[in-house]
Structure 1
Amino acid sequence: MAKCTIRYWAAAKEAAGTAEERVEAQTLGEALDAASLLHPDDRFQRVLGASSLLVNERPVGRRPHREVPVEDGTVIEVLPPFAGG
């Protein structure tokens, strides 16, 4: 298992109650599952589901999360939709 850092921004940070945390996983999907276990409340789940994701500064887009590999030192960023203009 790889040790990854998940960074939360804006509403994701607020819902998680932290700016970042470390999880162990082999794929992005496993990392998000680990985060969901740490934050099982509905609000976190809603924010996570609506967020864009970056893995090592690269957008994940519509790729299946279970097909995106992670390795030691991978940084996952959770970017919820931003309002304003």
Structure 2
Amino acid sequence: MQTITIVVRYFASARAAAGVDEEKVQLVAGARVRDAVEELRSLHPGPLPRVLDAVSFLLDGVAVRDLARPLTDGAELDVLPPFAGG
């Protein structure tokens, strides 16, 4: 079975919930953003799953609107919680 490795970077409350700034996550080749999110839920069963319900994602610096977007080996997935602005 072929796999890919992505880098997941956490920001603000997502970082606090995950307990790490970033991590490498191994997934099956052909995985999509939604597969990565499910893997993150299982890797961090504490507060992170609830945070993941409210976050936005950037895939290689581009906003993810569709969780069916495919992932490639070496991709960077940023987990961005909602920010208050002014």
Residue 55 of structure 1 and its aligned partner are, at CA, apart by 0.5
Give the alignment partner of residue 33 of structure 2, picking from 28, 31, 34: 28
- Select between 28-37 and 10-19 the one with higher mean Cα deviation: 28-37
Q: Structure 1 unaligned runs (5+)? A: none
**What do the CA deviations read for 1:6-65 (whole angstroms, capped 9, x no partner)?**
100000000000001111222111111111111112x2112111001000111012x1x2
User: Sequence identity, in percent?
Assistant: 40
Moved over 4 A (4+): none
State yes or no: 1:39 paired with 2:41.
no
Q: Structure 2 unaligned runs (5+)? A: none
Q: CA RMSD in A?
A: 1.1
Question: How many residues in Structure 1 have an aligned counterpart in Structure 2?
Answer: 81
Distance 1:44 1:70 in 2: 21
State yes or no: 1:71 paired with 2:72.
yes
Residue 84 of structure 1 and its aligned partner are, at CA, apart by 4.5
Bigger proportion of residues as helix: 1
